[in-house]
Amino acid sequence: MSAKKIFDKEVTRRQFLKVTGKGVAGLAASTSLLNLFGLTKAEAESGAVSVMATADGVLVANGARCTGCQRCEVNCTLLNDGKAMPYISRVKVLRNYYHGNDGKEGGIFGSFDYTPDTCHQCEDPACLKACPMGAISVRESDGVRVIDKDKCVGCGACARACPYGMPTIDPETNKSTKCVACGFCAANCPCGALKIVKWEDVAAAMA
Amino acid sequence: MYAWTGKILRLNMTTKTATIEDNKYCKEYLGGQGLADRIIYDEVPTGTHPQDDASKIVIAAGTLCGTGAACSGRTSVALMSAFTEVPTIVDAHMGGNMAPQIKFSGYDAIIVEGKADAPTWVKIHNDEVSFEDASGVWGLGTRKTTEILNQEAGPEYCVCAIGPAGENLVNDSIIVNSMCHAAGAGSGAVFGSKKLKAIVIHGTKSVAVADPMKTLELQQYQLRELIGVNNNHVQPSNQQSWNEFVGATRWQGGPGKMWGEAIGGPLDTGEQKPGDINAIGMRNHTINFFMGNDDIAFKHTVKTGGCYSCPIRCFPDLHFDALKEYGTQYNTATCMTLMHTGDYYNGHINDFVDPGDGALTLGSHIQWLMDDYGVWCGYGDLDYTFAYCMKNDIFKQKLSAEEYAEIPWALQEAGDPQWANEMVSRIATKKGEFGRVLGLGSLWTAKEWGFPDSFWNEATGTYFNFKKGYIRHHSSESFGQVGGLVNIVFNRDSMCHTHQNCLGNGLPYDIVKGVLEEKFGEGCADKTACYTPMNPAKAKFAKWSIVRNNVHDSLALCNWVWPMTFSPMKERGYKGDTALEAKLLTAVTGEEWTEESVDFVGERIMQLQRAMTALELNSKNLRADHDGVSDWVFDRDPDKAAFTEGTTKLDRADWETALDLYYEEWGWDKATGIPTRATLEKFNLADLADKLEAAGLLPA
Ligand code: SF4
Ligand code: SF4
Ligand code: SF4
Ligand code: SF4
């Protein structure tokens, strides 16, 4: 990937963050972005949608479309860990599934409101800063925050530091897992509830 | 070991101990139903009543469970039945999230035995098992119980609970997980008799997969090219940009078909082209298929839901403002009970908000209560029995004057939701004769209240099996003799959908016939109500339907979606791939499995069940004692002759031929329908042959 492209990405990313600065509802003003993300205005305003500006593109998680099949969790680990182990998935649905993201009104025992949790690929990642081994770094090629398995000692500092509870220590390997923005969960979500939209397309929609 | 965990968890409720044992049956029985049935045979003495001290219940996960295979979230349960004449082996199944959590905790199955002296719930997290005091949740419905136990254990735990019906040992009771996924057949009463309120489980282990990339590749192949919707329906019920055919199918989604109450406003389910994995979950809407009525069910849909790892989402999540005051406004369900509002309300159904929304709204309310109180409908057995009692004034005749007067029938006549609360709670708590008798199941209700044989024989076509206490489940109305033969082998309603999934899938009959004849031979699949006499191809089709059903319940894949007999793709000539189960099993286990070797296990499971049934009935002749069929099968449409156009009636003499050919396919003695020693030995079931012989039941 060329330096030019990364630079473009950064510009787009900043522009995008400005639009969504006050949360997802900011999106509602941009018809072209809504179309690109496959969202309606009402969905964007409902609180069921999360939009993450990741290094690779925008990760859209739409709770209105998520039907709780948990296929994303198992697919994530089959691809990235070579085994089926939802517990260490980097996208997390089960914990919100029964009683909602806040554990109260939503979920299948409530109003059916629940949204998959995804890694935010934070601008200033708490996981990276917490790691005593320097195992988490920003991948040069695409800016994704990744874990160097050789350096990771499974201390769990990243998991504790992450404000969204995303990294999980795999008890079978004693290594941390976090999202590498591979997009596999999204590509295989049967309901189109997860989407990774490339920065190039976002740039076009904002032009 | 790949795919299997190789371990079984035994919960002894008497001693409150948990032990972990090896699973010695992985290859021979695969898992799920096969494993559970075998354990019951090994450990529960013939004739044990399900609520006796010696009774056990096995809750099993399948081989493919947890591997990410599509529709692999189902749980198989094996137990003895109370709703039949004598206790017999029955299986029950639930979707939801139980089986995967068993697997991720490190087990292929859980055996529950013994009896606790006080209400108990069991918490399982991997190897950590604890027996907890359930006195605080005893008496509560399954929803409140789940809420409380999730607060104690953690929000990610799967709670599999009983309601008051199970606690009160009602024959027609369920265990239920994830809001609405229930296993019936009296499983609730087995839990109840053991004072087991709930199993609460969350696992954080992995399921090892031999070839993860191949597994993913096969899944993508299935999702792109093979899968349709529930019941293997493969063409939509509406014209989209791509489909050649439009059928009356469960594929209800499409452009302009909206989830009317979606979060953030109505959501268009949109185009659902085969190959577009991200649209598969928008296709299915079973309730809308049944209800029709101007897409009334779509209007009340928030989103859809369903079992773990299933892309089809056959449970619509519904919302009804009008039910808020009853606390039942959010509900999720697929078909039964919800479709039978009229039975419970004796036709007294009024609109709530929109014209024609009464049956759906009230039906959802009843369903909610059934799952919460933990009452089993027996695939409509209870609904039908109840409607029969109403129609024939049985309650007036059989209940005492005081009890009859005390029941608020006015609520029923007013179409008041509160009637359902009255009815369901009475059954769940065995209140009065009304509650006690209705919950026994149709056979015992008929006995206690002296129903005439016409109850079973009536031309409404409800009970295919004569005086057995279970209802037809896609019998002779589904491919004639084929569906009929499928219905005679189990000890409860036949939950086999293999054959049924080939019917009404949206493809023209000629295509369906072509695909099936390639598999089973000419004449295997008659057009509905254009039946022909019995032939060997039909016997093969019927047998394969059962065999594959057993395979699915053991792997455990959903037999409402599998096998992939058909495909939505014109490019494939609409032909599916019935070897996919074997291919997936090979990929996840790293062992070579073929369609034939997988089906061999499916057949073994039937042979085991059949021999167990002969022992349980102490029958020398299952043909006479077990496989009897009600008169309506042959006598319906009196003006028409069998095998003429416009009737699904069968012919008595032809049915005898059908049994002959069917038994021959299975390797059962023609005269008695009992497996021969040679057959049992072929399936490594010599021990069953010995036992039958010792009991004097083995065919000569
Ligand atoms: S795969 Fe999609 S629909 Fe299924 S749980 Fe994940 S986000 Fe939700
Ligand atoms: S793991 Fe947590 S802290 Fe790290 S980038 Fe993801 S969301 Fe941010
Ligand atoms: S678990 Fe690994 S990646 Fe996380 S903080 Fe510890 S060493 Fe770093
Ligand atoms: S993008 Fe890849 S790594 Fe991240 S959650 Fe999805 S599948 Fe897992």
Which DSSP string corresponds to B97-164?
THHHHHHHTT-SEEEEES--SS-EEEEEETTEEEEEE-TTTTT--HHHHHHHHHHHH-TTPEEEE--H
Residue A167 lies in a domain: no
ipTM over 0.85: yes
Residue with tokens 């449409």: B637
Residue with tokens 């004097």: B696
Residue A21 has pLDDT above 70, yes or no: no
B178 vs A191: CB contact, 8 Å cut-off? no
At B21-31, the pLDDT tens digits run 999 999 999 99
User: Pick the residue with more confidence: B125 or A203?
Assistant: B125
For residue A72, the CA-to-ligand 1 centroid distance in Å is: 6
The set of long-range contacts for A19-28, using a CB threshold of 8 Å and a minimum separation of 24, is A19/A206, A20/A51, A20/A53, A24/A49, A24/A50, A24/A51, A27/A51
* Alpha-carbon distances of B653 from B223, B273, B456, B534, B659, rounded to whole Å: 45, 47, 20, 10, 10
From CA A203, how far away is CA B518, in angstroms rounded?
Answer: 54
**Residue B19: other Cβ atoms inside 10 A:** 12
- Which residue in A63, A77, A112 is closest to B317 by CB distance? A112
At B253-301, the pLDDT tens digits run 999 999 999 999 999 999 999 999 999 999 999 999 988 888 999 999 9
On whether the CB atoms of residues A64 and B262 are closer than 8 A, the answer is yes
Question: With helix as H, strand as E and coil as C, how does A11-53 read?
Answer: HHHHHHHHHCCCCHHHHHHCHHHHHHHCCCHHHHHHCCEEEEE
Q: Looking at ligand 4, which residue's alpha carbon is closest to its atom 6?
A: A185
Closest CA to A88 of A154, A13, A186, A18: A154
User: Pick the residue with more confidence: A196 or B259?
Assistant: B259
Q: Looking at ligand 1, which residue's alpha carbon is closest to its atom 4?
A: A69
Q: Which residues contact A131 (CB under 8 A, 6 or more apart)?
A: A152, A157, A158
CB of A77 less than 8 A from some CB of B: yes
Alpha helices in B173-309 (DSSP H): 187-193, 212-221, 286-291, 296-299
The torsion angles phi and psi of B427, rounded to 5 degrees, stand at -65, -45
From CA B14, how far away is CA B131, in angstroms rounded?
Answer: 11
For residue A188, the CA-to-ligand 1 centroid distance in Å is: 9
From CA A23, how far away is CA A47, in angstroms rounded?
Answer: 9
From CA B537, how far away is CA B324, in angstroms rounded?
Answer: 53
Q: Looking at ligand 2, which residue's alpha carbon is closest to its atom 2?
A: A162
Ligand found nearest the CA of A128: 2
On whether the CB atoms of residues B685 and B611 are closer than 8 A, the answer is yes
Q: Looking at ligand 1, which residue's alpha carbon is closest to its atom 3?
A: A66
What is the predicted pLDDT for the residue at B589? Answer: 98
B205 vs A95: CB contact, 8 Å cut-off? no
What is the predicted pLDDT for the residue at B459? Answer: 63
Range of the domain at A6: 2-121+179-206
From CA B265, how far away is CA A108, in angstroms rounded?
Answer: 18
The residues with which B379 forms a beta bridge, in sequence order, are none
Residue A35 has pLDDT above 90, yes or no: no
Cβ-based contacts of A42 with chain B (< 8 Å)? 264-265
To the nearest 10°, report the CA torsion of B408, B409, B414, B420. 70
Best residue among A123, A162, A168, A176 to mutate for probing ligand 2's pocket (most ligand atoms within 8 Å of CB) is A162
For residue A183, the CA-to-ligand 4 centroid distance in Å is: 6
- Specify burial of residue B47 (Cβ count, 10 A radius: 0-12, 13-18, 19+): middle
On whether the CB atoms of residues A73 and A90 are closer than 8 A, the answer is no
A65 vs B310: CB contact, 8 Å cut-off? no
- Which residue in A69, A95, A112 is closest to B309 by CB distance? A69
Q: Which residues contact B613 (CB under 8 A, 6 or more apart)?
A: B88, B89, B491, B619, B622, B626
What is the predicted pLDDT for the residue at A2? Answer: 42
At B677-695, the pLDDT tens digits run 999 999 999 999 999 999 9
Residue A18 lies in a domain: yes
From CA B123, how far away is CA B149, in angstroms rounded?
Answer: 9
Residue A143 has pLDDT above 80, yes or no: no
Residue with tokens 């299915």: B284
> What is the interface size between A and B, counted as CB pairs within 8 Å?
158
A42 vs B319: CB contact, 8 Å cut-off? no
Which DSSP string corresponds to B55-72?
-EEEEE--SSTTTT-TT-
The torsion angles phi and psi of B131, rounded to 5 degrees, stand at -100, 115
Token pair listed for B188: 């609730």
Residue A158 lies in a domain: no
Q: Over pLDDT 90: what percentage of chain B? A: 95
The answer to whether the CB of A93 is under 6 A from ligand 1 is yes
Residue A12 lies in a domain: yes
Mean per-residue pLDDT of chain B:
96
Cβ-based contacts of B313 with chain A (< 8 Å)? 67, 69, 190-191
Residue B599 has pLDDT above 70, yes or no: yes
Average pLDDT in the B487-516 region?
94
Q: What is the amino acid identity at position B451?
A: F
The set of long-range contacts for A138-144, using a CB threshold of 8 Å and a minimum separation of 24, is A138/A55, A139/A55, A139/A180, A141/A1, A142/A1, A142/A6, A142/A55, A142/A56, A142/A181, A143/A6, A143/A9, A143/A55, A143/A56, A144/A54, A144/A55, A144/A56, A144/A180, A144/A181
On whether the CB atoms of residues A54 and A120 are closer than 8 A, the answer is yes
Average pLDDT in the A88-102 region?
96
From CA A90, how far away is CA A72, in angstroms rounded?
Answer: 9
The answer to whether the CB of A128 is under 6 A from ligand 4 is no
Average pLDDT in the B503-532 region?
96
For residue B318, the CA-to-ligand 4 centroid distance in Å is: 30
For residue A76, the CA-to-ligand 3 centroid distance in Å is: 20
Best residue among A179, A188, A194 to mutate for probing ligand 4's pocket (most ligand atoms within 8 Å of CB) is A179
The torsion angles phi and psi of A206, rounded to 5 degrees, stand at -90, -10
Distance from CA of A37 to the nearest CA of B (A): 13
Residue B338 has pLDDT above 70, yes or no: yes
Q: Quick one: pLDDT band at residue A57, thresholds 50, 70, 90? A: confident
Residue A4 has pLDDT above 70, yes or no: no
From CA B635, how far away is CA B633, in angstroms rounded?
Answer: 6
**Residue B242: other Cβ atoms inside 10 A:** 15
On whether the CB atoms of residues A189 and A20 are closer than 8 A, the answer is no
Q: What is the pTM of this model?
A: 0.95
Best residue among A118, A127, A182 to mutate for probing ligand 2's pocket (most ligand atoms within 8 Å of CB) is A127
Ligand found nearest the CA of A181: 4
Least confident residue range of A48-62, B186-200, B310-324, B497-511: A48-62
Among chain B residues, the shortest Cα distance to A106 is held by B330
Closest CA to B34 of B440, B684, B563, B604: B604
The answer to whether the CB of A188 is under 6 A from ligand 4 is no
Radius of gyration (C-alpha) of chain B in whole angstroms? 24
User: Pick the residue with more confidence: A125 or B536?
Assistant: B536
Q: Quick one: pLDDT band at residue A24, thresholds 50, 70, 90? A: confident
The answer to whether the CB of A90 is under 6 A from ligand 2 is no
On whether the CB atoms of residues A190 and B223 are closer than 8 A, the answer is yes
Average pLDDT in the B470-493 region?
94
A40 vs B302: CB contact, 8 Å cut-off? no
**In a 3-state reduction of DSSP, which class is residue B382?**
helix
- Specify burial of residue B447 (Cβ count, 10 A radius: 0-12, 13-18, 19+): middle
Residue A164 lies in a domain: no
Average pLDDT in the B409-418 region?
97
Residue A171 lies in a domain: no
On whether the CB atoms of residues B674 and B610 are closer than 8 A, the answer is yes
CB of A75 less than 8 A from some CB of B: yes
- Which residue in A69, A95, A192 is closest to B313 by CB distance? A69
Token pair listed for B376: 């089993």
Domains and CATH numbers, chain B: 7-202 (3.60.9.10), 212-317 (no CATH), 336-457 (no CATH), 481-566+594-694 (1.10.599.10)
What is the predicted pLDDT for the residue at B586? Answer: 98
Average pLDDT in the B74-80 region?
97
A190 vs B311: CB contact, 8 Å cut-off? yes
On whether the CB atoms of residues B53 and B75 are closer than 8 A, the answer is no
Residue A140 lies in a domain: no
Residue A135 lies in a domain: no
Q: Quick one: pLDDT band at residue A1, thresholds 50, 70, 90? A: very low
Among chain A residues, the shortest Cα distance to B368 is held by A109
SS3 content of chain A, % helix, strand, coil (to 5): 35, 15, 50
Ligand found nearest the CA of A184: 4
Number of independent structural domains in chain A = 1
Q: Quick one: pLDDT band at residue A163, thresholds 50, 70, 90? A: very high
Closest CA to B341 of B325, B355, B321, B357: B357
For an interface test with A, give the residue of B269, B278, B329, B588 to mutate (most A CBs within 10 A). Answer: B278
Half-sphere exposure of A143 (CA within 13 A, CB side): 21
